[in-house]
Chains A and B, each alone.
Chain A
Amino acid sequence: MTVMLRVDSLTKIYGNGSTEAGGVRGASFGAGAGEFLTLLGPSGCGKTTSLRCIAGLEEPSGGEIEINGRVVYSGARHIRVPTAARDVAMVFQSYAIWPHMTVYENVAFPLEARRLGNAEIRRRVESVLAMVGLSGMADRPAPFLSGGQQQRVALARAVIKDAPVLLLDEPLSNLDAKLREEMRAELRDLQRRIGTTAVYVTHDQEEALALSDRIVIMHAGSVVETGTPRQLYFAPRTSFAARFIGQADLWPCRIAGRGEDVITVEAPWGVVHSRCFPDDLGAALSLMIRPEHVEIAPATAPDGGASLTGTVARVTFSGRLAEYEIEVGGALIRAQGTTARLWEPGSKVRLRLPPDRCVIVNGGGEA
C-alpha cells in the first residue's frame, strides 16, 4: 500500500502551551492509499487541530506533513504549502454550505476555482450529485436544505475535487441518531467506491469502530495507540485505549507467573490467566475485562480451570440484555448476559474468564 499521508512529530502549541490550552504535541501517524483512518479521542485531545494542520488551516509549530508524496509542511525545512495548493478536500463539522448559492453553485465551486469549462463542470456536478443522491436538487438554494441534505452537499463539494485525501471533521455530529447511522453507511460506501484516502475525526468510538480501517487514539495532544478496530477492542495495549473503546473494568494487577504465551496475574479479587498482553510490559499494569466477555454459569457447574465463584449483587434489566454486578472476593465485577438466562440478586454463580479475553494493558487503573 502506498503512503498517501504522513504526519511526523506534528506539534501545535496554543497560548501558554499548557495541556489545558489544547494543541498537539508530537503526534505521528500515516494513512495508505484508499485507507479509512480515524482520529479518535475526547474533546481537546488535538484531533481536530491535527486535521486542520493537514488541511493547512492552522500553521503547526513544528513537525512535518506529507500528502501524496509531497511535503506540504516542514518546520525544519521552512516549507509551507498554502491550503489551496494541497491535495486535500474537506468536509466541515458545520457543513459550511454557502447560503448565498444554490446546491449546484456550492458543488461546482472547487471546479470553478480550478477554472474548468462550464460544460465540463456541469457534467461532473451532475454525476457527483447523483452519487450522493441529490439528483434534481441542483437549483435549490442552500438555505432550503434539511440537515441530511446539507451533509450530502458538503460531501459532494469535497468529493468533486477528486483530491487523493479527504478530510472529515466530525461530519455526522450534527445529525440525529437515525440519520447518522444511515449516513455512516453511505459515507463508507462512497469512500470505497471512489477509492480516496479518508481521514476522519470523531469523539464517537462506535462511529470509529464501524467506519475505520485503522483508528488513531489521541489524548492530550499525543497519539496513545494506533490499530484496527478489532485490535483496539480485543487487544488494547494501554489503559486509556481500553477505557475509551467499549466498556471495560480495569483492575490493578501483578504478574504472578509467566509461561510461554500465558501470564498468570493476581488481581485484587483472585488469580487469572491472560493470553493477551503487550510485548512491552511496563511497571504499572492493569487487567482489563469487558463485561460482555465474562461468562456466567451456575455455581454447580464444573470448575474447568479459569473460573471464580461469586454472588450476584445487582441486576440491571434492559430487555435484550441484563447487566450484573457480581461480588467476588470483596470486589464487584461487571458482567453482561443475554436474557435467555436471567440471574436474580443473591444467586451464587461461577464466572468464566477466558484467558484470551483477560487483557493486560500498560498503565494504572485510574482514568
Chain B
Amino acid sequence: MAPRSDGSLAAGLAPSASPGRRRWSSVVRWVPSLAIGAVLAYLVVVPIALMLLSSVRPGGFPLDPGLTLGHYASVYGDPGFPALLWATVEFGVGSSVVALAIGLGLAWLIERTDLPARGVVRVLILLPMATPPLLMAIAWAMLLSPRVGFINQILTDAFGLRTAPFNIYSMLGLIFVQGLAFVPTAYLILAPSFRNFDPSFEEAAMTSGAGTWRLIRRILLPVLWPSILSAAVFLLMVSLVVFDVPGTLGTPAHITVLSTRIYYLVSDSPGGIPLYGRVGALAALFLVLLLALASAYHRLTLQAQRYRTVTGKAFRPRAMRLGRARPAAILAVIAYFLLSVAAPVAALVWMSLMPYQTRISWPALRLATFDNYRDLFVNGRVVASVAHSAAIAVSTATAVTVLALLVSWLAVRLKVPGGRVLDALAFAPVAIPGVMIGVALVYVYLTLNGIVPIYGTIWIIVVAYVTQYLPFGSRTMSGVMLQLHPELEEAALTSGAGRVRILWRITLPLMWPAAAAVWIWVAAHALRELSSALMLQGRENSVVPTLLWDYWAGGEPTRAAAVGVGLTLTLVLILGLWQAASRRGTKFV
C-alpha cells in the first residue's frame, strides 16, 4: 500500500495541546506562512500594484492625486500601436518557431538516434547559455551588419557583389539571433520527454504492425505533444518580452517591440521626463496576456507530467538508426554549433584583439593587441562594474536559494495553511518580464525612497533579480523536495529527533546539491541579465551587462568585445560547476 501523507511531518511535529493551547497552536501554524507570504507579496504583488496604480494617475506616479484613463488612451490610441503589436508578435512567434524547430531536431537526434558522440553533444548543447543574448546580438552584428559585417565583407569581396547579401538589422535578423539564443532552453524542456519515452510503447506499436510513419504520427507525437506544446508556450511567453536582442539589433532597423518601447519611454522620452503613466498602461495589457500564457503553461506542464512515462524500471531508450542520413545529421549539428557558438565567439575574440574595428584579414593580424584586455583591469568603470556584478550575483543567488528552500519546505513538506498560495506567489513572476520588473521597482523605490533608500544602488537590482529568478528557484526546489521520499524525514521523527535536528541533519543535507545547483544557476543568470539592470541603472550601480551595452551603444565595439569575452569565460566556468552540481543533485532522489 502506498504510504499516504497529509503533511505527516507537520502532524508528527505539532506539540501536544490542551483545548486552550490548541487554539493558540492553530494561530502559530499560520506564522511561517504569513511571514514568508509577506516577503513574497512585497517582492511580487507590491511592484505590480504600484505600476498599475500609476497607470491611472495623471502624473504617472502612484501617490499622485487624481484618476485618469488618459495614459491608456494615448498608448492604445497611438497610430503606431498596431505596428508595435504586430512587430512584437511577429518577433515572438518567429523566434519561438525557430528555437522549437532546432530544439526538437536536436532533442530527437541526441536522445533517440545513433548520432555519434551524443554524450559530448549533450553537454556542448548548453554552451550557448554562456553567451547571453546581448552578446549574441553584438557578435552577429559584427558578423552580418550590412556595412562592416565580417561575413558580408568576405562574401562581397569573394563574389564581387555590389550590396551586402545579409542584413542583421531586419526582422528576419532579429528572429534568427533570438531563435538561436533560445535553442538551449527549448532543448532542456524537450529532451527529458524524449529521453524518458518508454521504448515498450514503440515496441508495442511495432508488434501491432505499425510502420515508422504511423509510429511517429500515432504514438510518438501524441505522447510528446504536451511537452512540445508547453515548450512552445514557454518560449512565446519569454520571447514576447525579451529586451536584449531587439534592443541591440532592432533600433538601427527601426523595429520597435513592446520591451524596447517601454525602455525608450523611460530613458529617451521626448520631454526628458520618463513617461511612467504610459509605461504602466502599456505594461498592463501585456501583464494580462502573460498571465493567460502562464496559466496555459501551468496547465500544460501538469498534463505533461500525467503523460510522464518514467516507471522506475531501468530501460535503454531505443536508438533509431540514422543509416544514410547520418552524415547529414552530423553536418546539421556541426552547423548549429558553428552558428550558435563558434562564429559569434570568433567574431568577439577577433574584435577584442583589435585596436579599432577592423575587417578580418591576414595583414590585420599584425594589429593584434591585448590593450582591450589590459583595460579591463585598470579602467575604474570596468572594475567597479565587475565588483557590482559579483556582489549582486552572490546576494541574489543566496537570497533566491534561501527563499525557494523555505517556500518549498513550507508548501511541499510541512503543508502549512496557505502553502499553495505561497507556491503560486513564488511562481507568479515568471509572467513578469525583466523590463517590467525593472520599471515596477522604479515606482516602488521612488515612492518608498524615504523609508528604503535603495534607488540607484546595487540593492534595487538585487531585489529585481530575486523576483525574477524566484520562479526558477522555487520550481526546482519543490521538484526535488517532492522527489525526496517523505519517509526519509518520518524515519528521523520516529528516531526521536525534533524539528530543528531533522531540518539540519536530514532535510538540508539531502537538499544541499539541489540548493547548490540553484545557487550557481541564479548567480550565472544574475551576471548576464541586462534588461532590468538597464531600467534601474543609476550612476552608482553599473553592472557588466550594462557596461557592455554602453560600450556597444557608445560605438566602442572593441572594448565591448573584450568585456564580452571575459563574461563568456566566466559563465562557461560557472555553468560547468552547475552541471557538476546538478548531476550530484539527482544522486539522492
Contacts and interface: CB of A to CB of B under 8 A. Distances in A.
Interface in A134-182: 143, 154, 157-158, 161, 167, 169-170
A161 B13 contact: no
A217 to B, nearest CB: 15
Contacts of B19: 78
Interface in A294-319: none
Interface string A40-56: 00011001110010011
Given A99-B587, A203-B1, A84 B493 contact: yes
A69 B588 CA distance: 40
B443 to A, nearest CB: 44
A59 B11 contact: yes
B496 A110 contact: yes
B11 A170 contact: no
B77 interface: no
Given A92-B490, A100-B509, A170 B1 contact: yes
Contact of B497 (A89, A113, A170): A113
B8 A57 contact: yes
B509 A113 contact: no
A110 B495 contact: yes
A80 B17 CA distance: 6
Contacts of A203: 1
Contact of A80 (B14, B488, B587): B14
A154 B494 CA distance: 12
A109 B1 contact: no
Interface in B476-501: 485, 487-488, 490-498, 501
Nearest to A15: B6
A47 B2 CA distance: 11
Nearest to B18: A78
Contacts of A201: 1
Contact of A109 (B3, B5, B8, B497): B497
Contacts of B587: 99, 143
A113 B8 contact: no
A22 B19 CA distance: 28
A114 B8 contact: no
A109 B488 CA distance: 12
**Residue among A57, A80, A94 having the largest count of chain B Cβ atoms under 10 Å:** A57
B22 interface: yes
A59 B12 CA distance: 8
A82 B13 CA distance: 6
Nearest to A109: B495
B488 A98 contact: yes
A82 B12 contact: yes
Contact of A100 (B17, B491, B510): B510
A96 interface: yes
Contact of B498 (A79, A113, A157): A113
A277 B41 CA distance: 68
B495 A93 contact: no
B15 interface: yes
Contact of A96 (B2, B8, B485, B505): B485
A186 interface: no
B506 interface: yes
B493 A57 contact: yes
Contact of B13 (A83, A89, A92): A83
B4 interface: yes
A52 to B, nearest CB: 7
A98 B485 CA distance: 10
A114 B497 CA distance: 8
A71 B2 CA distance: 28
B311 interface: no
A14 B6 contact: yes
B16 A169 contact: no
9 contacts: A55-B493, A55-B494, A56-B493, A57-B8, A78-B17, A98-B506, A109-B492, A113-B495, A203-B1
Given A84-B13, A90-B490, 19 more contacts: A22-B4, A55-B493, A55-B494, A57-B5, A58-B6, A78-B17, A78-B18, A80-B14, A80-B15, A83-B11, A83-B12, A83-B494, A84-B497, A94-B3, A100-B510, A110-B495, A113-B497, A114-B496, A143-B587
